[in-house]
Amino acid sequence: MVSRVAPTEILAQEFLRKAAQLLSSVEPIRILKARAYKIGDASVLIRAASDGNRRYFFGLNYIHAEEVANLDNPFFIFICGSINRTLIIPAHLLLNNLPNISHDRNGEYKINIDRDLNIVLSGRNNRLDCSAFINSWSLLLNPPKILTRDKNSVEESLHSILQGRLLEIGNVRGYLTFCPNKSKKFNGRQLLEIATLQTCPELQFSQYNLLRQIDVLWFREKNQNLIPECAFEVELSTGTWSGVGRMATLIDYASVGLYVISNEKKKYQQVMSSFAEFQSRYRHIDTESIGELYAAELNLKQLRLEIGL
């Protein structure tokens, strides 16, 4: 039995073929759950809709959108029935307008594009003017230049996303949070701005030079003292996982949760075999679960605000 290719998939492949002709460099990338592409120096997330009568409809999950928006030179591609009717929109422009677009409790936004290729916003006859982005291939051919010191690999971007999400979760839960990586950004803000502690507290039973290098720390206040609650190390490299050793400096704090965030459960088990004495103190969490928890925490926070409870 021959499987049929969906019309939207055909449109996406046509777009990629044209991109390859114009830019020669096209390769798939995956950052957490979002399946995206590196096209030249740009990072893109592609959505396609079959030809419609008056409007085109697209689903866009906020978590996926956020992941792509934290890459270098990010764009969202909306193919409206034909690659000759394509919107190539800077990711941050769309993200800034998401509060004016309807979504469900799972963070799935309903992107509605009219026949003039403008994005429908909440409110009567309210539209995001997208005329400058119709078939705007020049944006992909010549994306804004990024200073060498500000460039990030996909792995570096993913690391910053996970740190940012862990900081935000800790903040929502009322903990005081710390992160040593102050220059990297998450959602346009430096991690320094997201963390509520600017310097790492010194602890009596911990080596400070190791403690202050842990990727993310959560603390709670007790009798004017800061007590460590959770420590997180994001391990994306296939090399030596030094973060596991750094967190060992908190072993004497029996109530502290020590978490390794990675997508390599087998590698985690291999590394932990070297820490057999303390293995029961550590827990492994895959990167996608952090995204799901982050989305759930934000949804719960918003629901609490809406109902006032």
Same structural domain, 190 and 143? no
Number of domains the chain contains: 2
The answer on 164 and 58 residing in a single domain is: no
pLDDT, tens digit, 9 for 90 and up, residues 148-195 = 556 788 888 999 999 999 999 999 999 999 999 878 999 999 999 999
Residue 2 lies in a domain: no
* pLDDT (mean) for 209-230: 94
- The CATH number assigned to the domain holding 142 equals 3.40.1350
**What integer is the mean pLDDT of 116-127?**
92
Q: What is the mean pLDDT of residues 100-120?
A: 90
pLDDT value for 216: 98
Please, are residues 61 and 98 in contact by the beta-carbon 8 Å criterion?
no
Question: Within this chain, do residues 209 and 274 fall inside the same structural domain, yes or no?
Answer: yes
Q: Is the pLDDT of residue 71 over 80?
A: yes
Higher pLDDT, 124 or 133: 133
Same-domain check for residues 271 and 172: yes
Helix (H) or strand (E) holding 137: helix 137-141
d(CA 287, CA 162): 7
The structure tokens listed for 12 are 């996406």
Q: Confirm if 225 and 200 have CB atoms less than 8 A apart.
A: no
- Distance (Å, whole) CA 5 – CA 140: 27
pLDDT reading at 1 higher than 60: no
Task: Note the pLDDT of residue 152.
Answer: 82
How is residue 203 annotated by DSSP?
-
Residues 56 and 172 in one domain: no
CA 94 – CA 290 distance, rounded (Å): 24
pLDDT at residue 95 greater than cutoff 70 = yes
How far apart (Å, rounded) are the C-alpha atoms in residues 295 and 291?
A: 6
Query: 239 lies in which domain range?
Result: 154-307
Tell whether the model's pLDDT for residue 51 goes beyond 80.
no
> Per the domain annotation, does 39 fall within a domain?
yes
Rounded to the nearest 10 degrees, the angle between the axes of helix 154-172 and helix 62-69 is 130
Q: Is residue 1 part of a domain?
A: no
Q: Are 93 and 192 in the same domain?
A: no
- The pLDDT tens digits for 264-284 are 899 999 888 888 888 899 999
pLDDT greater than 80 at residue 83: yes
Q: By CB neighbour count within 10 A (0-12 exposed, 13-18 middle, 19+ buried), where does 267 fall? A: middle
Does 146 have pLDDT greater than 70?
Answer: no
Question: Residue 112 has what pLDDT?
Answer: 94
Domain boundary among 124, 147, 170: 147
Is the domain of 228 the same as that of 163? yes
Q: What is the mean pLDDT of residues 120-142?
A: 92
Residue 54 vs residue 88, higher pLDDT: 88
